[in-house]
Structure 1
Amino acid sequence: MSDTPKSTPPSITQVLAASRKPRTHRLLWWLVGLGLLICAGGAYVWFKNSGSKGPRHVTSAVTRGDIVVTVTATGNLQPINTVDVGSEISGTMANVYVDFNDKVKKGQVLAQLDTTKLQTALERSRATLAANQARVAQARATLEESKQALARFEEVSRLSGGKVPSATELDAARAKLARAVADQATAEAAATESAGAVKQGETDLGKATIRSSTNGIVLKRTVEPGQTVAASLQAPVLFSLAEDLSEMELIVSVSEADVGQVREGMPATFTVDAYPDKVFPASIKQVRYGATTVDNVVSYQTVLLVKNADLKLRPGMTATADIKVAEHKGVLLVPNAALRFKPAERAKKTEGSVLSALMPRPPTPPRPQVRSNGEGKNRTRVWIKTAEALKPVPVRVLLTDGRNTEVESKELQVGDEVVTDTEEQAK
């Protein structure tokens, strides 16, 4: 019989305790991991919230002043009236008497064509006229002779009772008279034609001298002495004359979006590159109905009348014009940025434990819209900075010059600080 003690079988409690021990270790590790995750999230939230103090509102004071609305357009200066002087006849240019920028008077000789051929043709026409005039005189004498011969034949026939001359001789005398009448008419027609040729030759000879048709200044000269001028279907332009440069026209292109505001008689100012520091006055003379389309952009030509007594402005200069279409004095003005400003949604501060910051939250319900008292497209609001918070103020928008806008509001006063922007400020 052995003295070795017998082993006691484990009880149910011991079995359950042994099987619960690994699960306890696993739960402990899960709790440790969750704690580390919560610590990391809390550190992230703390650093994020401590990085800035919150937004700083940029404000601008409401002012009272004048506002001017202008329409900007570009164009070129032109003389009010430009006259092109050309030549109706062909020939060689013998002399040119004027140059660019020369002032000329009406009837002044500008150039002279070579008249050798024209004078020869005129002398030939005059000689032909003289010969035809001599034929007219000869035809008249022949006609008179035929009339007298017929009259004698008729007198003899009357005295002889129709016996002499014979009927044949009498008919021949009458035919001769008729031929004399026709010859005289032919000679007179030839003389008239020759007279016309002489007149044409004299006219051509006169047109060989190129004269100014108006008082003005020479803008362009396209001919030189010795150059051949060929006048065929249309007269070649030799000189361009501007009648008067003390008054000029500025033709600008106004866009279709602005043309409805532009009216005849409106004042305007413009500048040119030649005098960048000088502003020239002008006034609208005409707004043309015909449209001009360039690269799918529709514009309308508008003519501005310009005074140029000192002759500083020259034809062809490119000008930028500002047309004053509206002006209001002593009105409330706010910066345009204040009309565009909308307060951003600020995140609510986290309440409760760090775990609640990490847990998903239900979506925020939409904020109620703040309605203005006005209606229509020109109604909006601005935000005023007060000691407590931002306050919306309804306003009615009127004129704007691109930087400031005229507004009407019963709640807005001069000196109120309207918010134009926000900036994040570092801690």
Structure 2
Amino acid sequence: MKSNANENPSAAGNLSAIIQKEGKGSRRTWIIVVIAVLAAVVAAIIWYRGSVQKRAAAEEPPFITETLRRGDLALDITATGNLEPTNEVTVGSELSGTVLEVYVDTNDRVTKGQPLLKLDTTKLSQQTESSRASLASAKATLAQNEATLKEAQATLARQQELQRVSNGRIPSRADMDTAIAAADRAAANVLAAKASIAQSQAQLDINETDLSKAIIKSPIDGIILTRSIEPGQTVAASFTAPELFVIAENLEHMKLKVTIAEADIGRVAAGQKASFTVDAWPNRTYTASVTKVAYGSAVTNNVVTYETELEVNNNDLSLRPGMTATADISVAEAKNVFLVPVAAFRFDPSTLAPQGSGKQSKSFVQSIMPGPPRRQSARPAANGDASEKAANGTARIHILKDGHPQPVTVKVGISDSRHTEVSGEVLADGMQIITNAR
């Protein structure tokens, strides 16, 4: 055998090549068989799922419904604003001068009449003493003039008596006129002295008032929010009073000023309840009530808004002036009423294709291709959204009765964009309200 193989090597090589070729063919066959089996399995799975879906679709009702139920509904308006003290007073100075002492700091509680700041009163004190001296001088001048008046009046009286007893012969007419004029001048000097006293007294009062204003006092009970002055600084009050302190009165009660858009302002009124949150306490909700709705408007970014004030209780002083708050104002509320989804007002059975009409369903490509514009009907829609209700406040919904949609006219109330309040004689608990078609 060896000799034969060695003698014919070409025959052995051909046999090996044939074996290798047959092995490759069998592997290719097995791969094709496996792919075919997998394709058959996938096709079977797809067919089975399609048949299940068809059966499920055939068993599903043709309409999507929701059971009519009763519940509570609240309509809120959201607005943002800032917290402010109910009364905030800016304390300034009517006088100019150098600050000598400052008695309070920020966050200090103060009472009405409590000293806050003192100016240097050296110059004011000197002016006050000068006014007192002027007043004393005016009083002395009055006493002197009163004595002169008495003397002139006595001289005039003697001249008149002498004229009487002498039957007018003495004194002469000139002496008599001189005595009368002297008495009149003395009386005028007394009046001038009295006027000078009044003027000096007024100037003294002014100086004493300025001296008292050199000590700045708190006009209200409250808390110091800001302090804008330090000892040694100069206060210049030439034209306007400089701002020295800002005092907030009673931070236990604050006000929240929010802006309401013109589309919602018609629903907001004094006395309505509200709730709000602040970024400082994100997990806490505060309560408030509307106290004032402004008639004056403001335009912000081409939007007309109206300022509204809310009263806030801040007993724990957790809220601070300037905080930004987001408030929800409860403008309407309905309890134990029938509620239907807003989608029920948009359902219109006239847009559904009847069964057996012969209409062919569009393919996906046909559905996305643009078509000719639809003609607008002159007849108003039979039903619409709750916001498009009729002038008399009614709208139309459809209930499922014996497998078919039946229209029902209802009276529409408030809506929160998800559910709408409805009422009507034919409505009853458990009715199936149609919201869409499958």
TM-score category (smaller protein): 0.7 to 0.9
Q: 1:414 to 1:159 in 2, by over 3 A?
A: closer
1:30-109 alignment, distance < 5 Å? 60-109=66-115
1:131 aligns with 2:148: no
Deviation per CA, 1:24-54, whole angstroms, max 9, x where unpaired?
Answer: xxxxxxxxxxxxxxxxxxxxxxxxxx9x968
Pick from 258, 266, 285 the counterpart of residue 260 of structure 1: 266
- Farther-moved stretch of structure 1 (71-80 vs 376-385): 376-385
Aligned to 2:416: 401
> Equivalent residue of 2:179, what SS?
helix
Q: Which moved more, 1:56-65 or 1:197-206?
A: 56-65
Gaps in structure 2 of 5+ consecutive residues: 1-49, 360-375, 384-388
Tell me, in whole angstroms, the C-alpha distance in 2 between the residues paired with 1:386 and 1:151. Answer: 127
Partner of 2:299: 293
Mark the CA change 1:149 to 1:386 in structure 2 (over 3 Å): closer, same or farther: closer
CA distance in 1, matches of 2:121, 2:83: 39
Q: 1:230 to 1:74 in 2, by over 3 A?
A: same
Q: In the alignment, what sits opposite 2:224?
A: 218
Aligned counterparts of 2:358 and 2:206: Cα–Cα separation in 1:
110
**TM-score computed with the length of structure 2 as normaliser:** 0.72
Identity %: 46
Give distance in 2, aligned partners of 1:166 and 1:377.
111
Aligned pair count reads: 360
Find the residue that maps to 2:290 and give its secondary structure: strand
Look up the match of 1:333: 339
SS in 2 for 1:243: strand
CA deviation after TM superposition for structure 1 residue 76, in Å: 2.0
User: What displacement does 1:299 show?
Assistant: 2.5
Separation in 2, partners of 1:223, 1:303:
32
Counterpart position of 1:230: 236
Task: Select the residue among 246, 256, 259 that pairs with 1:240.
Answer: 246
Equivalent in the alignment of 1:190: 196
Q: Distance in 2 between matches of 1:79 and 1:348?
A: 69
Q: What does residue 143 of structure 1 align with? A: 149
In structure 1, distance between residues paired with 2:233 and 2:169: 79
Aligned CA distance change for structure 1 residues 392 and 154 (closer, same or farther; 3 Å): closer
The amino acid that maps onto 2:291 is K
Letter in 2 for 1:401: D
**Residue deviations 1:276-315 (CA, integer Å, cap 9, x gap):** 2211112222223223332332232222222111111222
Q: Quick check: 302-311 or 231-240, which moved more?
A: 231-240
Whichever residue aligns with residue 211 of structure 1, its letter is K
Q: Which has the higher contact order (CA 8 A, sep 6+)?
A: 1
User: Larger deviation: 261-270 or 194-203?
Assistant: 261-270
Residue 369 to residue 241, structure 1, CA distance change in 2 (3 Å): closer
How many Å separate the matches in 1 of 2:245 and 2:382? 70
Residue 39 of structure 1 corresponds to: none
**Larger relative helix fraction:** 2
**Structure 1 position 393, deviation (Å):** 5.1
CA distance change for structure 1 residues 416 and 158 in 2, over 3 Å: closer, same or farther? closer
| Compared CA separation, residues 384 and 168, structure 1 to 2 (3 A) | closer
TM-fit CA distance, 1:155:
3.4
- Note the alpha carbon deviations across 1:345-373, whole angstroms, 9 max, x for none: 55988979xxxxxxxxxxxxx9999967x
Report the 3-state secondary structure (helix = DSSP H, G, I; strand = E; otherwise coil) of the residue aligned with 1:286: strand
Closer, same or farther: CA 187–393 of 1 in aligned 2, 3 Å: closer
Root-mean-square deviation over aligned CA pairs: 3.5
Deviation per residue, 1:154-190 (Å, 9 max, x gap) = 3344444444433323322222222222222222211
Matched, 1:250 2:293: no
In the alignment, the residues of structure 1 paired with residue 179 and residue 116 of structure 2 have an alpha-carbon distance, to the nearest angstrom, of: 63
Distance 1:139 1:285 in 2: 67
Q: Which residue does 2:323 correspond to in 1?
A: 317
Tell me the distance in 1 between the aligned counterparts of 2:120 and 2:287: 48
Please state whether the residue corresponding to 1:282 is helix, strand or coil: strand
Instruction: Determine the structure 1 residue equivalent to 2:15.
Output: none
Q: Which letter maps to 1:397?
A: V
Q: Distance in 2 between the 1:143 and 1:369 partners?
A: 105
User: Quick one: which of 262, 276, 279 aligns to 1:273?
Assistant: 279
SS for the counterpart of 2:286 is strand
1:148-227 superposed matches below 5 A:
148-227=154-233
